[in-house]
Amino acid sequence: MDDKEKLMRQVLEKNKECKTLNNRLQEAKSFLDGYNLCIFAYGQTGSGKTYTMEGPQGKNEEMKHQGIIPRAMKQVFRSVEDFKVCGWTYQFRASYFELYNEAIQDLAKGSNDEGKNLTKGATENNRTSKPIITEKEVKTTEEKTNITPSKN
C-alpha cells in the first residue's frame, strides 16, 4: 500500500455502546443526496471490528446491540419511505470486503477461493486500478444478509 495521509472526521472510542453511534449515523443519510458512503473499521484481530459493524449474530438481535451497518440501513430505508410519498425512487447497491495484510477479499462471495486475494495493479498510465468487487442490490434492511456472509 502507498503511504498516504488520510483525513478522518472522527475516531470513536472503543468503549462506546452501539446506541451512542446514532448521532454519527445521520451522515449515512448523506448518500441519499448522491454521495458514496464507506463505513470503515480498523483494528487488530479480535478487537471487535465485526461486532461493531454488524452486532451479534442471529435474527433476534436487540436494537441496543445492533451494529453500525444494520442501524445505518434502518435509518436510510426509513428516510426512503418518506421520499416515496413524493414520488422519488432509489436503488441501493452494496459491497462488502476486507483488507487484510494488503490483500483484498470480496466477502460478498463468501469463503470460496473466487473472492480471496483480489489484487490491484497499475494501468498503462501508471494509475492504480482497483479489483472488481461484487455489488448486490439491497431493497430492505433484511436483505443485508444477501451480501454479508454467515460466520462460522
Mark the binding-site residues for ATP, compressed into ranges: 43-50
Would you state the cell numbers that stand for residue 102, as one nine-digit string? 494488503
Which residues are documented as binding site?
43-50
Nearest Cα to Cα of residue 95 among 149, 48, 34, 22:
149
SS (H, E, C) 99-142: EECCEEEEHHHCCCHHHCCECCEECCCCCEECCCCCCEEECCHH
Nearest Cα to Cα of residue 150 among 15, 23, 41, 57:
57
